[in-house]
């Protein structure tokens, strides 16, 4: 967390800064674990101040700001990172600030309670080396059944585990993998090699349905309340979850089975044994 829907919501939320000129960059004092910032503050400031935000993009679970000088600022929020145009939830965890002239916002703050995220400034060549198709799989919003079969179909891994492989498909994380497989009616422990073409088709269709709806609801704000959009508002997709964090509840699909929780690669998976056989 955040996953593709939350990061896409962040990207759309910061669109008002497109066209703005960066007039100041600063690393804010924070008594908690420092985030990784590459390069260091002097070089970062020298390369971004005076540049304009040309466009926004997303690389899997990362927000990208492309500058008119050809560089890219990459925000990787990991567990608790946020991009905010409004006042932070708690200023204590504000990590870096960009100030602008022009555009539709005066500043952008990267906020990170746990400090696991990072902010990087890369040249176009460095960006391609780091986030090109050799390093990061196709985005989940453009994946087809054929691509899923091509990239995962020969794997012996459980399908839930394989969907989290960012080199195979970019953007799906733990929460949405459970939701996708429930909608597709596929058991999370099934080996990818056992899946038939029709099941890959079901996964592809379910992934698009779940992710696009989650984006429409601006992502999921879980019980810890950490995730917020760029205007410091909660997401709404948590109210649409079918199985995630619902162990013991009745399955909304079959109305007979109970949602179960298992652990796969040290992560919780939620599913219905009755309709995900």
- The neighbouring-strand residues paired with 25 are 98
Is 3 annotated in the active site? yes
Residue in the block written with tokens 């540049």? 51
Phi, psi of 185 (to 5 degrees): 75, 35
270 touches 178 (CB < 8 A): yes
Write the CB contacts of 142 (distance below 8 Å, at least 6 apart in sequence).
Answer: none
- d(CA 238, CA 223) in angstroms, rounded, equals 9
Of 27, 69, 253, 267, the catalytic one is 267
Of 2, 5, 77, 138, the catalytic one is 2
CB atoms < 10 A from the CB of 64, how many?
Answer: 19
- d(CA 21, CA 270) in angstroms, rounded, equals 45
Is 2 annotated in the active site? yes
132's tokens: 């090109």
Residue in the block written with tokens 């466009």? 55
Of 11, 52, 61, 151, the catalytic one is 61
Of 3, 6, 8, 218, the catalytic one is 3
106 touches 99 (CB < 8 A): yes
Residues marked as catalytic: 2-3, 61, 267
């Amino acid at each position: 967390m955040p996953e593709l829907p939350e990061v896409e919501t962040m990207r759309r939320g910061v669109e008002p800064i497109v066209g703005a000129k960066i007039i100041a960059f600063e690393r804010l004092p924070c008594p908690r674990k420092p985030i990784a910032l590459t390069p260091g503050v002097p070089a970062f400031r020298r390369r971004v101040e005076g540049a304009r935000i040309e466009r926004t993009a997303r690389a899997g679970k990362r927000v990208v700001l492309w500058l008119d000088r050809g560089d890219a600022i990459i925000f990787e929020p990991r567990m608790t990172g946020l991009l905010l145009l409004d006042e932070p939830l708690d200023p204590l965890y504000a990590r870096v600030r960009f100030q602008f002239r022009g555009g539709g916002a005066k500043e952008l703050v990267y906020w990170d309670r746990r400090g696991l995220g990072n902010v990087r400034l890369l040249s176009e060549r460095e960006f391609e080396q780091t986030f090109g198709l050799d390093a990061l799989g196709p985005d989940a919003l453009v994946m087809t059944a054929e691509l899923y079969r091509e990239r995962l179909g020969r794997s012996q891994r459980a399908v839930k585990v394989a969907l989290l492989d960012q080199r195979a498909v970019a953007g799906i994380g733990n929460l949405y993998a459970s939701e996708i497989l429930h909608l597709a009616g596929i058991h999370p422990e099934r080996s990818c090699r056992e899946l038939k073409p029709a099941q890959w088709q079901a996964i592809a269709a379910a992934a698009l349905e779940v992710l696009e709806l989650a984006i429409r609801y601006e992502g999921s704000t879980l019980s810890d309340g950490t995730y917020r959009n760029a205007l410091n508002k909660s997401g709404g997709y948590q109210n649409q979850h079918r199985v995630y964090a619902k162990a013991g509840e009745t399955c909304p699909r079959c109305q007979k089975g109970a949602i179960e929780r298992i652990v796969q690669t040290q992560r919780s998976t939620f599913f219905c044994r009755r309709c995900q056989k």
